């Protein structure tokens, strides 16, 4: 299976990345109006210190992101105080130094699975989503300055090898490796991603110099291998001292299915419970009203014990399987109608024959 994924990515068309620069939030809202899946990555430079700035920024967006990735979160002592309304929060627990850490905010209601992967000092937090027939993995990474570049690059390469089975994988992060002024480390870092079919979504400045003048560095990025239609956006307006990065994916993430629990009476179990029930004790009760109440309680008890529960999923977004054609649906519905007609008139041999011949 791994070979087929690698071959598909290797033989497919090169991923075209359209990197758009946007100057203000109003323009962002205009661009993102009809986008389905939006992922935002931003260096927050201490989540405890800057959670209010993040809240203001997210609240200014009309179309709320599905996932918000905050790098350089600093070590957190009680993630609950860093809440974003409408989101669940997750921390990668990386503590190489006090500035380390990545936090994921995932929009409530999305069907997802959070995973934590470790390769030596590299701690990667990921979120797995299903988008119809597609699986998507979104990962977050931060390299603090106490994490040596050459070791970090080697660990990331090992991580890419471990994830070569994934067809749609997006790795966001502040890697503290400048992709503009490329030295040997930056070249090796980029080559490893290219070798495993990941494309860099950002090639321009992501962290401006002081006062947003005279250039900057490209240390924040998203590397992705994917067969899906994507766009990348950078808003030239810092939340802390980095530009927020946006990726849009032309797929809706599946919601958590709504579950209702139905109760059914298991008659076989009820029969067994009734056989071992001590009904004869009723004969020793002189008061008829008391005997009736005891009988009712005994029946209630064994009826509750004989119940079985079954989850029923109510999700309008669940697509019909390809093999279930309209003809099959009509046939099943017709057979059910004939069965109900026969069930209502069990002595009618014509209805019975019509049902069996269907």
pLDDT tens by residue, 293-322: 899 989 998 998 888 877 665 555 555 667
Residue 272 pLDDT exceeds 60: yes
Measure Cα distances from 244 to 44, 99, 202, 226, 238 in Å. Answer: 9, 19, 12, 22, 7
Final residue in a domain of this structure, among 249, 284, 310: 249
Both 221 and 287 in one domain: the answer is no
The number of domains in the chain is: 2
Average pLDDT over residues 98-123: 93
Q: Phi, psi at residue 274, to the nearest 5°? A: -65, -35
- Distance, in Å, from the CA atom of 325 to the CA atom of 355, rounded to the nearest integer, reads 21
Residue 44 pLDDT exceeds 80: yes
List strand residue ranges (DSSP E) for 108-161, in order: 112-119, 122-131, 134-142
Q: What is the pLDDT of residue 143?
A: 95
Other Cβ atoms within 10 Å of 145 Cβ, number? 11
Both 207 and 270 in one domain: the answer is no
Q: What is the pLDDT of residue 312?
A: 63
Both 223 and 287 in one domain: the answer is no
Both 203 and 86 in one domain: the answer is yes
Q: What is the pLDDT of residue 176?
A: 96
Average pLDDT over residues 233-254: 92
- Distance, in Å, from the CA atom of 174 to the CA atom of 220, rounded to the nearest integer, reads 4
Model confidence at 2, pLDDT cuts 50, 70, 90, reads: very low
Both 214 and 265 in one domain: the answer is no
Both 308 and 170 in one domain: the answer is no
Contact 243, 218 (CB under 8 A): no
Final residue in a domain of this structure, among 216, 249, 282: 249
Both 329 and 211 in one domain: the answer is no
Both 216 and 86 in one domain: the answer is yes
Final residue in a domain of this structure, among 227, 249, 271: 249
Both 233 and 343 in one domain: the answer is no
Both 312 and 184 in one domain: the answer is no
CA dihedral 49, 51, 52, 56 (to 10 degrees): 140
Q: Are strands 169-174 and 220-225 parallel, antiparallel or unpaired?
A: antiparallel
Q: What is the pLDDT of residue 306?
A: 86
Task: For residue 220, give the CATH number of its domain.
Answer: 3.60.10.10
Q: How high is the mean pLDDT of the chain? A: 86
Select from 173, 187, 143, 146 the least CA-distant residue to 242: 173
Residue-range definition of the domain harbouring residue 282: 258-357
Both 139 and 286 in one domain: the answer is no
Both 112 and 201 in one domain: the answer is yes
């Amino acid at each position: 299976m791994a070979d087929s994924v690698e071959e598909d990515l290797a033989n497919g068309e090169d991923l075209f990345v359209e990197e758009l620069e946007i100057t203000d939030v109003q323009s962002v809202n205009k661009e993102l109006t009809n986008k389905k899946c939006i992922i935002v990555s931003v260096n927050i430079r201490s989540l405890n210190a800057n959670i209010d700035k993040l809240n203001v920024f997210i609240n200014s967006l009309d179309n709320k992101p599905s996932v918000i990735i905050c790098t350089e979160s600093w070590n957190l002592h009680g993630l609950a105080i860093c809440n974003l309304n409408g989101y669940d929060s997750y921390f990668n627990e990386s503590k190489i130094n006090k500035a380390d850490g990545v936090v994921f905010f995932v929009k409530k209601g999305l069907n997802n699975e959070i995973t934590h992967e470790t390769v030596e000092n590299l701690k990667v937090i990921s979120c797995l989503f299903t988008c119809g027939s597609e699986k998507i993995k979104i990962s977050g990474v931060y390299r603090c300055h106490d994490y040596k570049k050459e070791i970090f690059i080697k660990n990331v390469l090992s991580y890419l090898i471990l994830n070569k089975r994934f067809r749609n994988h997006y790795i966001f992060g502040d890697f503290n490796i400048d992709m503009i002024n490329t030295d040997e480390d930056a070249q090796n870092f980029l080559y490893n991603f290219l070798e495993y079919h990941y494309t860099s979504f950002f090639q321009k400045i992501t962290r401006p110099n002081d006062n947003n003048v005279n250039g900057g560095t490209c240390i924040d990025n998203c590397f992705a291998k994917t067969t899906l239609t994507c766009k990348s956006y950078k808003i030239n307006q810092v939340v802390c001292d980095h530009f927020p990065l946006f990726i849009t994916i032309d797929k809706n993430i599946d919601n958590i299915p709504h579950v209702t629990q139905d109760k059914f009476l298991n008659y076989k179990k009820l029969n067994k419970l009734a056989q071992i029930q001590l009904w004869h004790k009723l004969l020793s009760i002189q008061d008829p009203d008391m005997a009736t109440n005891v009988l009712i309680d005994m029946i209630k008890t064994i009826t509750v014990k004989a119940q079985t529960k079954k989850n029923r999923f109510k999700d309008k977004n669940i697509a019909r399987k390809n093999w279930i054609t309209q003809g099959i649906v009509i046939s099943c519905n017709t057979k059910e109608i004939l069965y109900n007609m026969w069930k209502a008139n069990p002595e009618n041999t014509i209805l019975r024959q019509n049902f069996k011949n269907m």
